[in-house]
Structure 1
Amino acid sequence: MTYESFLYIPEWRFVDESMTTRNRSALESFAADDTLCHLVGQQMSAPTVRTWVHDKTVVLGIQDHRLPYVAEGISMLETAGYNAIVRNSGGLAVVLDEGVLNISIVLSERDSAIDIPAGYEVMLAFVRMLFPEAGKRIEAYEIVGSYCPGSYDLSIDGRKFAGISQRRLRQGIAVQVYLCVEGSGSDRAELIRNFYETGLRGEEMKFTYPTIQPEVMASLSELMELPLTVSDVVIRTQLLLRELADNVDMGGLKPDEMDLYTFYLNRVFERNQKMLARG
C-alpha cells in the first residue's frame, strides 16, 4: 500500500477555517482537531482536511514551559506582539501568524491501524501534491538549527518551511502541518531564538533546547520564488481534494457536533490554564 492510497478515497470533508480563526485563540483549533479526531475516529464523519490560521501566536511545548525563566520569555513574546499558549503534547515552540497556514488531515484507524511513520508519510505525500512545482525537492529530515526540529521537518534545498505533528484520540489521528507560506522564515526563527535566549539565560539544562540558526528557515514563497499566499494554498487544497475524492463535503462543524466541540474546548482551556499557572 502506498501512502497516497490513504488520500484517494470516496469522500473527503473539507473544513476551511483559514479566515474565521485568525483573531481567535489557537486553543480553539486544538479543540476542533480533537473533536474531529473523535468524530472521524468513531466513523461519525468522513475523513477530514481542515485549514486554519491564527494571528501572532507562539505555541509552546511542555519542555518550553520548563525553561528556568519561561515567564520572562513569554513576556518578551508579548512585548513583540505575540500571544503564548502551551499545548499538552510533545514538540517545541512554533510560530503562527497570518502568513502560516496550518493543515490537519484527520483519519480513522478504527478498521485498520495507521502507525506513526505512516501518518507522517501521508502528510508528506499531500504537501508534495499541493506543490507540484517543487515535487520531490520537498524532503523530510531534521533541519538542525530550526525551531521545533524533528525527523519530518519539510525543506527545500536544506531550508525548512514546515513541520509535522500528530494527535491521536478515540481511534482518530490528526496529522498537522504548519506551512510557512508568506513572509520571512528567518524572522520567525529569530523570534524563537530570542525566546530561548531570554528563557534560558545561559543556564545548563538536562533537556537540550535547539540552538536556532535563522538562516536555515524560509517561507515557501521565498523558496519557490513565487508570490504565493495563504489564500492561494487554501484554494490549492480544495482543488486537490476534488482530485482525490468523488465527493467533497464542505462546511464547518454541524449543530449536532457542537456539544462535543464544547467538551473538548473546555478541556483544552483548562489544561492550558493549569500549565500557565505553573510558570
Structure 2
Amino acid sequence: MMKTYQTLFKQSNSLLFNQPCVMQKDALTPFALTDVFIQYVATHNVPIFHFWQANQCVILGMKDTRVTNLPAGLNVFKTAGYHFLARNSGGLAVVADEGVLNFSIIIPNSTEEKITVPEAYDFMTNVIQRAFDDFTCTIEAKEISASYCPGDYDLSINNKKFAGISQRRIGTGIAIMIYLSVNGHQIERGQMVHDFYKQSLEEEFGNNGYPPVDPYSMANLSDLLQQDLSVEDVKKRITTVLTADFIQELSDQPLQTFIGQPTENESFQKHMAKMIKRNETILNDLEGVPL
C-alpha cells in the first residue's frame, strides 16, 4: 500500500497550507476549504497538506444535532466559553482549541487504482507513527469506546486516545483528516463533551450510538510522551516524515493567494454558502430557546 502512495507523491510537487489559528468569525472556513482542496487535487493531481487550529470551538457531527435536548447541551459549551458548529461530514463531537492540531492529507483517487477506506486510514496512521518513532512507546490504531467521537482508527498510547481520524470523499478526491490533542487541558475537554451528552440526552446518555464519554479515556501527546510538545513541534515532525518518505518537493503556499484565484474563489464561496446554510438551519431550530 505504501508504495502506491509513494508513487503518487513522486509524480508531482505537493502544496502545503499552514492556516493560522481560526477565530470564531472564520470558524467555517477550514471545512469549506477541505471541499475546495478535494476538488482541486482531483483535477490537478497535486496532493495538498493542510494544517489548522481553531480557537475554543466544539465541532459537532450531524448526529449530535439530533440529540433529545440540543439547547441544554449547547449551553454546556457556552458556559465553558466555547462556540460550536456543525461540520459537513459524519462522526460526532470533537473539541478544537489552540492545543489541538488538525491536519489533512488531500489526495487524488484515480479510477484506475482506487484507494480503499482502510488504506487511507492506514496511511494517516503510518504518517503519525513515523513522526514519533524516536519514542519507545507504541502508537496503536483501535477504538477507544469511551472517548469522544470514537472510531476504529482512534490513535492511542497505553489505551489513552490522543487523536481521531476521519475521511471525506468527493468524486475522485479524498481528504484524510486527523485531530491531535497536543497540549492543554484534555480532561476538561472530555468533561465538557461528557456534560454535553449528559445534558442533551438525559436518560438516554450512552445509548443510540452516542458515546458514554469518560474524560480520563483521553490524554495529550505531551503527557503520554512525557515531553513538552508545542503544536509547531508536531507540525515539524509531520512535515519531516512527508518530505523524507513521500514527497519530492513541498511548497508552503499562501492560502489567500490560492483562494484568490478565480476558479478556487468560486469554489470556496460555493462551499462556504453550504456550510453557512447548514449551520443557520441549526441556529434557526434554536430560535427563541434560551441557552
Q: What TM-score bracket applies, with the shorter chain setting the length?
A: over 0.9
Aligned partners of 2:77, 2:6: CA distance in 1, in Å?
Answer: 38
Residue 25 of structure 1 and its aligned partner are, at CA, apart by: 3.4
Aligned partners of 2:114, 2:137: CA distance in 1, in Å?
Answer: 27
The residue number in structure 2 matching 1:189 is 190
The residue number in structure 1 matching 2:289 is none
Residue 23 of structure 1 and its aligned partner are, at CA, apart by: 5.1
Normalized against structure 2, the TM-score is what? 0.89
Correspondence list, 1:68-87, <5 A: 68-87=68-87
Aligned partners of 1:92, 1:20: CA distance in 2, in Å?
Answer: 22
- The verdict on how the C-alpha distance between 1:203 and 1:176 changes in structure 2, with shifts beyond 3 A counting, is same
Correspondence list, 1:198-277, <5 A: 198-203=199-204, 207-243=208-244, 244-251=246-253, 252=255, 253-256=258-261, 257-277=264-284
- SS of the residue corresponding to residue 210 of structure 1 reads coil
Aligned partners of 2:6, 2:21: CA distance in 1, in Å?
Answer: 26
**Bigger mean CA offset, 199-208 vs 51-60:** 199-208
Contact 2:93 2:148 in 1 (8 A): yes
Contact 1:86 1:276 in 2 (8 A): no
Contact 1:22 1:98 in 2 (8 A): no
1:163-189, CA deviations, whole angstroms, 9 ceiling, x for partnerless residues? 001111131100100000012322211
The residue number in structure 2 matching 1:34 is 35
1:243-278, CA deviations, whole angstroms, 9 ceiling, x for partnerless residues? 232211220225322222111111221122123333
Aligned partners of 2:207, 2:24: CA distance in 1, in Å?
Answer: 37
Contact 1:58 1:82 in 2 (8 A): yes
Contact 1:138 1:155 in 2 (8 A): yes
Aligned partners of 2:206, 2:118: CA distance in 1, in Å?
Answer: 30
The residue number in structure 1 matching 2:16 is 14
- The verdict on how the C-alpha distance between 1:179 and 1:4 changes in structure 2, with shifts beyond 3 A counting, is farther
RMSD: 1.9
Residue 3 of structure 1 and its aligned partner are, at CA, apart by: 3.0
Residue 22 of structure 1 and its aligned partner are, at CA, apart by: 4.5
Matched, 1:55 2:52: no
**Bigger mean CA offset, 59-68 vs 234-243:** 234-243
Aligned partners of 1:30, 1:86: CA distance in 2, in Å?
Answer: 10
In structure 1, the gaps of 5 or more residues are none
1:65-103, CA deviations, whole angstroms, 9 ceiling, x for partnerless residues? 111111111122012111111123221110000000000
Normalized against structure 1, the TM-score is what? 0.92
In structure 2, the gaps of 5 or more residues are 287-291
- SS of the residue corresponding to residue 104 of structure 2 reads strand
Aligned partners of 1:88, 1:48: CA distance in 2, in Å?
Answer: 19
**Bigger mean CA offset, 120-129 vs 105-114:** 105-114
Q: How many residues align?
A: 276
